[in-house]
Amino acid sequence: MLKNWILIIDDDPAMLTIMEAAIAHPSLSITTANDALQAFIQARDIKPILVISDIQMPGYGSGPDALKRMREDPRIPRVPFVFVTGMPLDKAQLLLPPNDPLIRLLSKPIDYRILRNLVWGYARIPTT
């Protein structure tokens, strides 16, 4: 069975581990990145079907920076992004492109059932 790559971007190692465990499924391959630059390099190589990203991260770029770089590079397919953030959703929305149907926004603390259902839906995994 062909595995679907999911890329998770967050500067908090604990969040990476928790999100990875929450969405795990035998038909998914999950990789993680600590910042936008590392995420861009990985996305170029693995061609994920979905990206889950924190919005605010120190270092080499934010989640919106990762989105922008990936959308500008023709080697990376235009994939859905699920952004997770601790900031108020109305403020977070201002940092993202308006009216993009491939962007979802979830608040922290994350409802991992909702996250799993979103990811599994994109990967066409039954959520029975």
> Which domains occur in the chain, in start order?
4-122 (3.40.50.2300)
pLDDT score for 10: 95
Q: Longest Cα pair distance anywhere in the chain, in angstroms?
A: 41
* Tokens describing residue 35: 């910042």
DSSP 8-state class, residue 80: -
Q: Side chain identity at 74, as an amino acid letter?
A: P
Q: List CB contacts of 107: < 8 A, sequence separation 6 or more.
A: 84, 85, 86, 89
pLDDT score for 1: 47
* Distance, CA of 86 to CA of 91 (rounded, Å): 10
pLDDT score for 15: 94
* Distance, CA of 66 to CA of 53 (rounded, Å): 9
* Tokens describing residue 94: 């201002």
pLDDT score for 128: 65
CB 65 within 8 A of CB 87: no
Does the global pTM surpass 0.75?
A: yes
Per-residue pLDDT of the chain (128 residues; tens, 9 = 90+): 456 899 999 999 999 999 999 999 999 999 999 999 999 999 999 999 999 999 998 878 899 999 999 999 999 989 999 999 999 999 999 999 999 999 999 999 999 999 999 999 999 998 76
